[in-house]
Structure 1
Amino acid sequence: MTHVRVPAQLEAYIDVLGIDLGIEFLLKFGGSYVHLSENPQGRSEVAALIGPEKTTALARRIRSGSFRVHTGKPFIARHFRAKGWTTNAIARHLHVSDVTVRNWLKPPDDRQLSLL
């Protein structure tokens, strides 16, 4: 499998949870608010998915409290492509159009001039 670069805003999730659980976390909570605690309680949806130990580790890495989770869909699309998924399969899984997936998977335009 080809390595896909993890964007900076998603590094903490992937570092703490690993790639597979990190993606599952982003798919479940991305775009919504979550509450992370260093002492998760039994009613925590986050702890139910990733376990209390990883919830504590994530709270220590990111911060305790409530915040909106990034969706991470462009990264997830690139990861699924590296695993051999088709554009249509990615689009269905991420609930976006095939056009959106193709745009996410396009290589960067090297003709863009640097501003610096």
Structure 2
Amino acid sequence: MTDTIEIPAHIQPYVDVLGLDLTIDFLLAFGGAPLYLPSERTQTDSRLAEVVGADKAVALGKQLGRGTVRVPIQKRFIAACLLAKNVPIVEIARKLHVSDVSIRRWLPDRPNSQLGLFD
């Protein structure tokens, strides 16, 4: 799946540590907000550890630098990844809290199932 989807440069460090599927879960959980990343250990009952695991939380802190980071939102990237996994557009729209029209507009190279008028 990563062969067909271009991973934005600022998302690549997250994918390197978490993998693509866990990065999507991470971005959906924390995107758009500041988040403290530990560099040595984290509380196992923290929301971060709950989503990615304590070891991955520390690895992410080491990769990106300890401290507070603003997690990117990246709805278009997430939509492309979910579509590549054959998730229906309406379900993607619900997950991202946008309309199905927005999803279709973001992904113009999606195969068109509508018959051509003059084909």
How do residues 20-99 of structure 1 correspond to structure 2 at under 5 angstroms? Answer: 20-38=21-39, 39-99=41-101
Q: What is the CA–CA distance in structure 2 between the aligned matches of 1:25 and 1:101, rounded to whole Å? A: 20
Q: What is the CA–CA distance in structure 1 between the aligned matches of 2:76 and 2:50, rounded to whole Å? A: 26
Post-superposition shift, 1:9? 1.2
* Aligned residue in 2 for 1:8: 9
| Larger gyration radius, structure 1 or structure 2 | 2
Task: Encode CA deviations 1:73-105: one digit per residue, 9 max, x unaligned.
Answer: 101100111112232221112110112111211
The higher-RCO structure (CA 8 Å, 6+ apart) is: 1
Deviates more, 1:86-95 or 1:25-34: 86-95
Deviates more, 1:24-33 or 1:40-49: 40-49
Post-superposition shift, 1:43? 4.5
Amino acid of the structure 1 residue aligned with 2:87: W
* Aligned residue in 1 for 2:115: none
Question: Identical aligned pairs, as a percentage?
Answer: 43
* Aligned residue in 1 for 2:20: 19
Q: After the TM superposition, which parts of structure 1 deviate over 2 Å for at least 4 consecutive aligned residues?
A: 41-44
Deviates more, 1:42-51 or 1:79-88: 42-51
Task: Encode CA deviations 1:23-77: one digit per residue, 9 max, x unaligned.
Answer: 1011000111110011212443212221121111101111111121011210110
How many residue pairs match? The answer is: 107
